[in-house]
Amino acid sequence: MAMRVTFWGVRGSLPSPTAPQALTTRTRDLLQAFFAAGHRGAADIDRFLGALPPHQVGGYGGNTLCLEVQTETQQVIIDAGSGLRLLGYDLLKGPCGRGQGEVHLLFTHFHWDHLIGLPFFSPLFIPGNQIHLYAVEPDLPEVLRTLFRKPNFPVPLERIGATLAYHRLPPRQPAQIGDLTVTPYRLDHPDPCWGYRFEHQGKVFSHCADTECTRMS
């Protein structure tokens, strides 16, 4: 595995749960396909669903932005949209569930949809976990203090349990996170927003969210 990228959330602006009508339509389509394939009994349901592409059963996610980049030995998370809540549950199965986890979380920018998952990221509340937070913009600590401050959220950042470490990334300078080389590049967005170029073993993944390509010369 050179790099594996998992999309835990891709929506902009707001999480978008599946509407009841859309769920009804999808269920009807699946039932029609089930019977059209010649299935008749409950014993065939799991085999039928398991053979379909995941999106045909589960649809596309409604969570706001959160990605996970993994190598054999390193994991980096990009942004703390509502998708981060699901990733947090997944991490609890490993060292994060025992207070022995190390998390590396990069922020592209501080718009609401890229932050709202953080107060619901379970590894934050387990003492012993080390959470490394990265951003190019200098105001990350104040942004997060505000996010967790009453009346926005009942638990202040100073009492969450895990240990936080802030890291400021210089623009266009390669930084090393384990065996991943990460370089931030400025994007075109109403407030400063940064894309990240990940390099590992000669392979490159570039993440450019929210860029609009309207003000760039």
Closest separation in Å from C-beta 206 to Zn ion: 17
Closest separation in Å from C-beta 7 to Zn ion: 17
Q: Which of 142, 148, 143, 146 lies closest to 160, judged by CA?
A: 148
From first CA to last CA, the distance across the chain in angstroms is: 37
Closest separation in Å from C-beta 92 to Zn ion: 29
Distance between CA atoms of 112 and 98, rounded to whole angstroms?
Answer: 30
C-beta nearest to Zn ion: residue: 111
Of residues 103 through 122, those in contact with Zn ion by CB under 5 A are 111
Vertex 122: Cα angle to 16 and 168 (nearest 5):
90
Q: How many residues at the interface with Zn ion, by CB under 5 A?
A: 2
Query: What letter does residue 142 receive in the DSSP assignment?
Result: H
Of residues 8 through 47, those in contact with Zn ion by CB under 5 A are none
By beta-carbon proximity to Zn ion, the closer residue of 13 and 152 is 13
Q: Which of 160, 156, 199, 192 lies closest to 176, judged by CA?
A: 199
Q: Which residues, 6 or more positions from 42, have their beta carbon under 8 angstroms from its beta carbon?
A: none
By beta-carbon proximity to Zn ion, the closer residue of 36 and 216 is 216
Q: Which stretch binds Zn ion (CB under 5 A): 135-143, 147-155, 159-167, 209-217?
A: 209-217
Binding status of residue 79 toward Zn ion by CB under 5 A:
no
By beta-carbon proximity to Zn ion, the closer residue of 83 and 123 is 83
Q: Which of 172, 166, 173 lies closest to 144, judged by CA?
A: 166
- Exactly one of 88, 196, 198, 210 binds Zn ion (CB under 5 A); which one? 210
Given the rule CB under 5 A, which residues bind Zn ion? 111, 210
